[in-house]
Amino acid sequence: MRNRKARLIRAQYIDNRLGELYRETPVPLDHKDPYTLLVAVLLSAQCTDKRVNEVTPALFRLADRPELMAKKSVAQVLAIVRPCGLGPQKAKAIVELSKILVKKHQSRVPKTLEELEELPGVGHKTAQVVLAQSFGIPTFPVDTHIHRLAKRWKLTAGKNVLETERDLKSLFPEAHWNQLHLRIIFYGREHCSARGCNGKICEICAHLNTKPKA
């Protein structure tokens, strides 16, 4: 119980401070609708957002709707997305998921976690990002970056991203989840990266590791 209370105090401070630092939470991946966001998030696996944003303009000129992408060859898509890494797998997934969207979902991106996770190349985190940022459905996408920060901030003892996701959802108000996951990412990139902070240097780490005065 004492540990739970300490985590809640930490979480409240983090929630408030990140809200002050990042009042606006724009999605870092360029997109215009749920489909283009889905493709961009898929491409972002093991790739920087900057690189994805450099690649997607050409990809979406080739095809920016499922019914158009479904008619393209994997080779055509691969020629564009190769710089994102894991090119063959990603190109195949983009074409195949587009075909499924046309066939099963009337060319629309589904709004349920289960249906999204059935699509090729779409994992749990990708599905949650689309639900959160395209449809406003409360989710808490946790990648390795957020997982690392949550452990550094002693919000979780989770051994993997799913356990960390469970713990974070229990600590923060559901209404804050969609913005908070982006705020943690923004803060980590700017102030609390793996190499940039040893758990004591940045503002939040310094605050959380300061022992209260007797």
Catalytic residues: 125, 143
Kind and range of the H or E run holding 205: helix 203-208
Is 71 within 8 Å of 160 (Cβ atoms)? no
Is 128 within 8 Å of 178 (Cβ atoms)? no
Task: Say which DSSP state 180 is in.
Answer: H
Is 111 within 8 Å of 10 (Cβ atoms)? no
Helix (H, G, I), strand (E, B) or coil at 24: coil
What are the backbone dihedrals phi and psi of residue 121, each rounded to the nearest 5 degrees, phi first?
80, 0
Residue 107 structure tokens: 């060319």
